[in-house]
Amino acid sequence: MKYSLRVATVAGIDINLHASFVLVLGLGAWPWLMWGARGALFGAGMSLLIFACIALHELGHSLVAKAFGIPVTDITLTPIGGVAILKDRPKTPTQELLIAIAGPAVNVVLAAIFWGTAVVLGHEAYDAAKLTLLREPPRAEHIWVLLIPANLALAAFNMLPALPMDGGRVLRATLSYVFAPEQATRIAAVVARVVAVGFIALYAFVPNTTPMLPFIAVVVFFGAGAEVREAKVNRVLSLIRAGDVVTPYAPRFEPGTTLGQAMQTLMVSPLPVFAVELGGRLVGVARREDLLQAAMTKGAWGFVSSVLVRDVPTVDPFDTLDDARSKMQRADVRAAAVMRGGVFLGLVTELELAQAMEVAERLKATQTRDSLGREVR
């Protein structure tokens, strides 16, 4: 994510702080300013500790996803929480269920650890700290007083049955054992939108509720819609074979093709990725944006080989477009080579995926009009 700073790497997963994260430090310090610099530092430090718990929450999701073979790009912490970017989606309801529940489970375990630490410190000190929170200068016991409920609240809030939150994913995974994935998503989306409306009502009619509720409601409402659209895309692409969308007439380059010649092709072709062949054998691909950038820096007499990407995922002609898209997402190439018996047939790119979706939508609209007895054109 842009405007972020990497602060740690765990199990190959980068943990980043978004530039806006400085707001968290200010908001955390604000309630403690009455105790001067000591209070401000304590409040800012508590914010960092709570967001460390959020990072561990996202790591819970990420590590379980990696255990299922799903690559994780990174985790970014922002003032409204953390986001773990997975390069692929879970393939089974069980995978989605375990990945979704892993984050809240981490917070429950953290709360238990902090509670055990508080018990070791002594019940009396812990109980006294609860009574003096924000009434006396901060001290060490206040850390446990804040971290225990914070982790329990994170676990409980994230388990609300509202896509795209963890609880919504748990609900969809559970429904997917009974219903088709798209139908399960639609049911979970309806529940999510009811929860979103509930957030708005809670903010409107209950005093002293957090002003973040309307924002969360908007994210949930539109996020649920995005999940429905994604499920629809998955269903449609799973019905089309990769070999059915490959065209043998797509432009192809050789490593020795000049960038000037490539620019002439780019002016007449909308493809985002181009195959690069040598002696009839695929040696890699060249991405449109890389070719344009190279033409600007190297000039017309540079070569396509300077932007060659050799690591290209491959699919069989009988694999589905959903399989191809999954491999494309994992490889960050935005293309998959369709191979049959070692022979390169062509590329599947984002353009073919979009065209397949458009044709499917047109066919569905035509079938709907036909079933209503109207003219079909």
Tell me the pLDDT tens digit for each residue of 179-238: 999 999 999 999 999 999 999 999 999 888 878 889 999 999 999 999 999 999 999 999
- For residue 168, being part of any structural domain is answered with no
Which residues make Cβ contacts (< 8 Å) with residue 162, sequence separation at least 6?
168, 191, 192, 195, 196, 220, 224
Q: Judge if 248 and 206 occupy the same domain.
A: no
Mean pLDDT value across residues 21-44: 86
Q: How far apart are alpha carbons 329 and 75 in whole angstroms? A: 17
Q: Judge if 230 and 260 occupy the same domain.
A: no
Structural contact between residues 64 and 99, judged by C-beta atoms closer than 8 angstroms: yes
Q: Facing residues of 306 across strands?
A: none
Say how many domains are in the chain.
Answer: 3
- For residue 373, being part of any structural domain is answered with no
Give the pLDDT band (50/70/90) at residue 57. very high
- For residue 293, being part of any structural domain is answered with yes
Q: Tell me the whole-structure pTM to 2 decimals.
A: 0.85
Q: Could you tell me which of 76, 48, 71, 62 has the C-alpha nearest to residue 106?
A: 62
- Domain carrying residue 89: 4-159
Which residues make Cβ contacts (< 8 Å) with residue 330, sequence separation at least 6?
71, 87, 88, 313
Give the pLDDT band (50/70/90) at residue 375. very low
Q: Judge if 55 and 107 occupy the same domain.
A: yes
CATH number, position 256: 3.10.580.10
Q: Could you tell me which of 160, 178, 8 has the C-alpha nearest to residue 93?
A: 178
What single letter denotes the amino acid at residue 84? A
Q: Judge if 190 and 300 occupy the same domain.
A: no
Sign of CA dihedral 146, 148, 154, 160: negative
Structural contact between residues 77 and 14, judged by C-beta atoms closer than 8 angstroms: no
Q: Judge if 101 and 224 occupy the same domain.
A: no
Q: Within a 10 A sphere around the Cβ of 49, how many other Cβ atoms? A: 14
CA 205 vs CA 81, 161, 210, 340: distances in Å: 25, 22, 12, 63
Residue 86 has pLDDT above 70, yes or no: yes
